[in-house]
Amino acid sequence: MAYLSLKHKWLWIYKPLSWFVMTVHDIPSVVLMMLFYYVIFYGSVHGIAASIVALGVYTSGSLYKIFKIHVSQVGKEQKEAAQLLGLTPFQTFRHITLPQAYKTMMPLVGGELKLLLRSTSYAGYIAQKDLVKAVDAIRALTFDSFVPLLIVSLIYLLLSWLIGKGFNLLYVKFIKHD
């Protein structure tokens, strides 16, 4: 979509998609999951599947905004220089614009994926079993709140740390090739 936003001949596709992404992104993720499960899928799919689709659509809105801002910040001079070298607009986008945008947006994308991970805890509103619902069931059976909540907190912390480490490794690798 970021490429489409740069090309004026594709505005008839870009405008409705942009409106859709912006609208969906402004709805809270819990409400969006419930909307997908109860209205769009009529409860005919498993709650986890509806949560995955809803959170995917929700996160795509954030990633689109990040991507569009960073792609648009690449200077016009570089695009003009690529055109003078004989590159097509798509080659310019792929070989000049994208690598520069990747470097600046990688930390934000990593943060967005951490936010997506935290949003999965809301899936219990529509799903039968997710991590938070399982902890709640254990808490109800054992009357112990501390240990189950500590374990689920550590699981989310570990997963968030792994996402952060993975993006740091990618970022360092990307910067070394610069």
Would you give per-residue pLDDT tens digits along the chain (178 residues)?
666 666 666 677 777 877 887 788 788 888 888 899 999 998 788 888 888 899 988 888 888 888 888 888 888 888 888 888 999 888 888 888 888 888 888 889 989 999 888 888 887 777 666 777 778 888 888 888 888 889 888 998 999 999 989 988 887 877 766 6
pLDDT at 75: 83
d(CA 127, CA 114): 21
pLDDT at 159: 92
pLDDT at 165: 92
32, 24 contact by CB (below 8 A)? yes
pLDDT at 39: 92
36, 123 contact by CB (below 8 A)? no
pLDDT at 69: 86
d(CA 178, CA 170): 13
pLDDT at 40: 92
131, 51 contact by CB (below 8 A)? no
Q: What pTM was estimated for this model as a whole?
A: 0.74
